Amino acid sequence: MTPSFRRAYPSALLRSEFSVELAPLQSITGSCSLRRSFSSEAEADETLEVDLSPTVPTTRDEEALTPKELPAHIGSEDIPLAPALKRRSSRTYAQASAVRFLIPKPDGEQGRATTEGSKGKKGYVLKELLTKSGAPHTLNWTLQEYDEAQKFIDSLIVKYLNVDVSRTKQESVCLEALRAEVVKTYPIVDQGERDWIFNDFVTAGLKKEKEKRKRKRKTGV
């Protein structure tokens, strides 16, 4: 049974705002509600009802264990928090798994060798770099492996590209077709940071083929 406490107020108070302060219930664990009811305009009785029904206290830890009751707003959908967190975690893991570790590009430009102590522009020779054992940019190829790869790529350059123009002026469609063919045999060529391995092979191949044709025009051989 819910006990009620009745207290009468003058009818004049019906037309004005008032508040009733209740002393804190320190010895009772429950919920308290205030209800005002008037049987008629002339009656000025106010009924205070105190609900003394026991309640089970909820700790912060228990609240943290029920995330499914808390909605997480993503876009225009209302998705429970637990599945939303699980979905975000899976997406983050998938993104991390897709990261490739690429071979870093060396300083300078290919074809411009830099001697120790020189003050000129930095550079490197692709053949020396890729066959140098223990270097951070090397493929650890032998000289024979490098020559075979360059010869193979040179043959595809003649097939797919315009030898009379530089690599940067080639049609992107032709470069991608060339790349697809090269990667089938030498997938490591596609693992260079900013495509430096592929680009350097193509640049070297175009230069070699252009010089070859120029020499042929002069000598007729």
Token reading at 165: 């123009």
> Residue 11 pLDDT more than 90?
no
Average pLDDT rounded to a whole number, residues 132-140: 72
Question: What pLDDT, in 10s, does the model give residues 166-199?
Answer: 999 999 999 999 999 999 999 999 989 999 999 9
Q: What integer pLDDT is reported at residue 209 of this predicted model?
A: 92
Nearest CA to 205 out of 172, 158, 168 is that of 158
DSSP output for 27-59: S--SEE------SSSS--EEEEEEE--------
Instruction: Please report which helix (H) or strand (E) contains residue 191, including its range.
Output: none
Q: Are 85 and 97 in contact (CB under 8 A)?
A: no
Three-class DSSP category at 140: coil
Query: What is the SS3 assignment for 80?
Result: strand
pTM for this predicted structure: 0.52
Distance CA 211, CA 221 (A): 13
Max avg pLDDT among 21-25, 83-87, 138-142, 201-205: 201-205
Strands 45-51 and 31-32: antiparallel
pLDDT band at 89 (very low <50, low <70, confident <90, very high): very low
Share of the chain above pLDDT 70, in %: 48
Instruction: Quote the pLDDT of residue 179.
Output: 96
* Winning range, highest mean pLDDT, from 21-25, 82-86, 123-127: 123-127
